[in-house]
């Protein structure tokens, strides 16, 4: 295993002073240290990370990217049309999820795990693989230097266990709302709605707390739960659609909020759990501390937007949203609790089961919506106490 010290020192010795990325648990150790050293940029998505690194490279700073292979699709456009076309050399570290044995990883990694090497080959991108038993990074970087010297970007692919991890500093006992608390409180309001949950701990905890086989638990496809829910809402206008999102996922494709505001589906509620971290990859910070989700939603045409800090505010906001024409956004401030105690939905369901169960929910007759806070029919108006 390559230690964090060895990883970061090897980059520093070779003049790499700008690192951009999207967190992966396999790189949690180096990301934590590079962030402390002030040379790591938390990018919205992998394509943005590569573009930022390319810009820094043209500005005279040797640059690198850290990403997971599940994000290779996000990265391909600037890789082919920017970095390769303009001859901008960038070093890319990419973890190999779903490889060499897809059955040993989550199902969403199977296809990309089996094709990462071939995709890079077809794009003419040189790559070097770091095995799990590697002890130092220097020799691998020496190989990469030959390609960088020729103004070619190069990928260093890392097997699981090759890089020392960082233990999350999240405090499970921190004061504040937890996602589990909120999910338990809003469970009655989800009755009859088409519920889409984003990847990571949100889907795990929704399944663990409620256990419905008719919700859509999105594993992978980070940042796309909102767009998926938008499509559902536009084609199922008689049924309320509730998207349970995360701050990191929402930021990854924040433009979907603009699309949602423009399309104006009256039956869509977009609820964002904001704990300021990429919780399932080690608790790395997102950029949500400077992002006003409610303000963005208002600016792009959502019918209403609220930021909530208490259970009462959340249940009231959701009750009101389900009665009025949307789209509505509810940003809920929660704490980052570290490792989730819940298993993924695919531990007991197949992805086909998830798809078909959700489709069955969409076909079913819609029951009446209930006010979770007071058990009243949703037709009765309530006053909301969260910020306008």
**Same domain for 32 and 154?**
yes
Give the mean model confidence (pLDDT) for residues 108-119: 89
Read off the pLDDT band of 381 (50, 70, 90): very low
**Same domain for 150 and 184?**
no
**Same domain for 296 and 149?**
no
Q: What is the pLDDT of residue 108?
A: 81
Read off the pLDDT band of 375 (50, 70, 90): very low
CA R_g for the chain = 22
Answer yes or no: are the C-beta atoms of 284 and 242 closer than 8 Å: no
**Same domain for 102 and 194?**
no
Q: What is the pLDDT of residue 323?
A: 96
pLDDT at 68 over 90: yes
Read off the pLDDT band of 167 (50, 70, 90): low
Burial class (CB in 10 A: 0-12, 13-18, 19+), 29: buried
Categorise residue 73: left if φ over 0, alpha if ψ from -120 to 50, beta otherwise.
Answer: alpha
**Same domain for 210 and 266?**
yes
**Same domain for 251 and 120?**
no
Determine, yes or no, domain membership for 268.
yes
**Same domain for 192 and 129?**
no
Give the mean model confidence (pLDDT) for residues 15-24: 95
Determine, yes or no, domain membership for 369.
no
How far apart are alpha carbons 358 and 213 in whole angstroms? 7
Q: What is the pLDDT of residue 101?
A: 77
C-alpha triplet 158, 162, 163: angle, nearest 5°: 100
b (16+ CB within 10 A) / e for 214-250: bbbbbbbbbbbbbbbbbebbeebeebbbbbbbbbbbb
Read off the pLDDT band of 339 (50, 70, 90): low
Structure tokens at 325: 């024409």
Read off the pLDDT band of 365 (50, 70, 90): confident
Sheet holding 304-308, edge to edge: 216-217, 194-197, 241-246, 268-274, 328-333, 304-308
| 174-230 tens-digit pLDDT | 678 999 999 999 999 999 999 999 998 999 999 999 999 999 999 989 999 999 999
pLDDT at 165 over 90: no
**Same domain for 145 and 185?**
no
**Same domain for 16 and 147?**
yes
pLDDT at 129 over 50: yes
Determine, yes or no, domain membership for 167.
no
Find the domain containing 282 and state its range: 179-363
Read off the pLDDT band of 100 (50, 70, 90): confident
| Phi, psi of 197, rounded to the nearest 5 degrees | -115, 140
pTM of the model: 0.88
**Same domain for 305 and 206?**
yes
For 380, residues 6+ apart whose C-beta sits below 8 A from its C-beta are 371
**Same domain for 334 and 209?**
yes
Residue 321: closest CA among 334, 335, 333, 306 = 306
Among residues of the chain, what percentage have pLDDT more than 70?
Answer: 91
Determine, yes or no, domain membership for 378.
no
The lowest-confidence range among 169-173, 179-183, 205-209, 354-358 is 169-173
Determine, yes or no, domain membership for 61.
yes
**Same domain for 143 and 203?**
no
The lowest-confidence range among 63-77, 129-143, 276-290, 308-322 is 276-290
pLDDT at 377 over 90: no
Determine, yes or no, domain membership for 345.
yes
Categorise residue 151: left if φ over 0, alpha if ψ from -120 to 50, beta otherwise.
Answer: left
Q: What is the pLDDT of residue 338?
A: 66
Give the mean model confidence (pLDDT) for residues 28-38: 93
* Residues facing 127 on adjacent strands: 155
Q: Is pLDDT larger for residue 173 or for residue 75?
A: 75
Last residue of a domain, one of 158, 190, 220: 158
Determine, yes or no, domain membership for 50.
yes
Determine, yes or no, domain membership for 295.
yes
pLDDT at 172 over 60: no
Q: How does the average pLDDT of the chain come out, rounded? A: 90
Structure tokens at 195: 């519920």
| 240-284 tens-digit pLDDT | 999 999 999 999 999 999 999 999 999 999 999 999 888 877 778
Maximum average pLDDT range among 30-34, 56-60, 287-291: 56-60
Which CATH number is 90's domain given?
3.40.50.970
Total number of domains constituting the chain: 2
């Amino acid at each position: 295993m390559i230690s964090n010290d060895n990883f970061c020192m090897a980059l520093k010795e070779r003049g790499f002073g700008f690192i951009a990325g999207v967190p992966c648990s396999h790189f949690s150790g180096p990301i934590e240290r590079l962030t402390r050293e002030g040379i790591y940029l938390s990018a919205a998505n992998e394509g943005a990370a590569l573009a930022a690194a390319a810009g820094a490279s043209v500005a005279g700073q040797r640059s690198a990217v850290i990403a997971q292979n599940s994000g290779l699709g996000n990265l391909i456009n600037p890789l082919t049309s920017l970095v390769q076309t303009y001859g901008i050399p960038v070093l890319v570290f990419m973890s190999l999820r779903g490889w060499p044995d897809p059955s040993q990883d989550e199902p969403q990694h199977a296809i990309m795990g089996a094709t990462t090497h071939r995709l890079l080959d077809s794009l003419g991108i040189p790559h070097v693989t770091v095995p799990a038993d590697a002890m130092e990074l220097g020799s691998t970087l020496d190989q990469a230097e030959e390609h960088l010297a020729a103004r070619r970007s190069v990928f260093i692919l890392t097997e699981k266990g090759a890089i020392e991890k960082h233990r999350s500093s999240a405090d499970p006992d921190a004061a504040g709302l937890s996602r589990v608390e909120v999910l338990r409180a809003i469970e009655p309001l989800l009755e009859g709605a088409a519920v889409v949950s984003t990847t990571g701990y949100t889907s795990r905890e929704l399944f663990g707390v409620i256990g419905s086989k008719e919700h859509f638990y999105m594993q992978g496809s980070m940042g796309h739960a909102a767009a998926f829910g938008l499509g559902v809402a536009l084609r199922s206008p008689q049924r309320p659609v509730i998207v349970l999102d995360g701050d990191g996922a929402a930021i990854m494709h924040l433009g979907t909020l603009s699309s949602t505001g423009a399309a104006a589906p009256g039956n869509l509620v977009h609820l964002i759990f904001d704990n300021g971290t990429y919780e399932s990859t080690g608790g790395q910070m997102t950029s949500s501390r400077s992002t006003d989700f409610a303000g963005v939603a208002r600016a792009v045409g959502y019918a209403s937007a609220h930021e909530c800090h208490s259970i009462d505010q959340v249940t009231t906001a959701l009750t009101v949203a389900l009665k009025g024409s949307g789209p509505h956004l509810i940003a809920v401030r929660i704490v980052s609790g570290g490792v989730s105690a819940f298993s993924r939905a695919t531990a007991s369901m197949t992805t086909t089961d998830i798809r078909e169960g959700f489709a069955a929910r969409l076909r079913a007759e819609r029951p009446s919506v209930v006010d979770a806070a007071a058990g009243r029919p949703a037709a009765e108006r309530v006053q909301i106490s969260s910020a306008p």
